[in-house]
A = this chain, B = another copy of it.
Amino acid sequence: MASKTTYKNKAGNLSMDVKTLCLGVLYQGEASGYEIKKAFEEGPFSHFQDASFGSIYPALGRLSSEGLVDCTQMAQEKRPDKKVYKLTSKGNNALITSILVPPAPDKFTSDFFFVLYFAELLPVAQVTLLIDQRIAFYKNILERMSECDITSVTAGRQLCHGLGLTVYQSSLEYLQKHRDSFLQKLPSQNITSTTSNRHAS
C-alpha cells in the first residue's frame, strides 16, 4: 500500500507533496494548472505553501493517470486553450487520507531574521531600510488580507485566515514599537567591510 517511496519526516510522518497540494486546491473547485499556481501565489494558500509550474504540471499529469483528477480540455476565445482539472471521488479520498496523518513540523526560513540578527555589522541606513521595507510588507499583506471576504468560507479557512492576520498584525506592531529604540542602539559608526577588530566592548 502507500505510493512507492513515500517520504518521511523526522516524526515519521508523510510530507505534503505537490500532488496533495493540488488536490487541496482542486477540492475548492476545478482549476487549471495556471490557476492552481495563482492559488499559491496570491490565494489563501500563499501564506503557508508554495509550488512552481515545474512541479504543478507534472503533478497534475500523475494525478490524472492515477484517476484522482479528471481533465477537460477547454477552448477559450482570445486565450490559449486550457486544461481544467476536477477532483474525482477517489481524489477526494486521497486528500482525506493525506490530511489524516499527523502534519510535519512547520518550516520557516527567513533571511530577514538572519540579517537582522547581525544588524550591528551593517550600516545603520541599510538596517533602517530593511526594517522599513518589512513594515511596508506587513502593512501591504494586512491590507490585502482584510479586503478579502471570508464570511462564507469554511471554519477551517476562517481560522487559518485569522491566525495569519494575528501573526502579521503582531509582527507589524512589534516592529513599529521597537524600530526607533533599536536603531539608536546600533553603533552609529558601522563597519561596512574590511579591517575590523572590535569584538569586545
Q: Which residues of A contact B (CB under 8 A)?
A: 15-16, 21, 24, 27, 44-45, 47-50, 89, 92-93, 95-97, 99-100, 102-104, 106-122, 126, 130, 154-157, 159-160, 162-163, 166-167, 169-171, 173-175, 178, 182, 185-186, 191-197
Sampled A-B contacts (14; CB under 8 Å)? A16-B114, A48-B109, A49-B113, A89-B197, A99-B122, A100-B192, A102-B130, A103-B110, A103-B111, A104-B111, A108-B108, A113-B160, A116-B160, A117-B154
Q: State the copy count for this chain.
A: 2
Q: Check A15 against B117 for contact (C-beta < 8 Å).
A: no
Question: In the complex, how many angstroms separate the beta carbon of A71 from the nearest chain B beta carbon?
Answer: 19
16 more CB-based (< 8 A) A-B contacts, given A47-B108, A163-B175: A48-B108, A48-B113, A49-B109, A89-B195, A93-B194, A96-B191, A103-B114, A103-B130, A106-B111, A107-B110, A113-B160, A113-B163, A155-B185, A159-B178, A162-B178, A166-B173
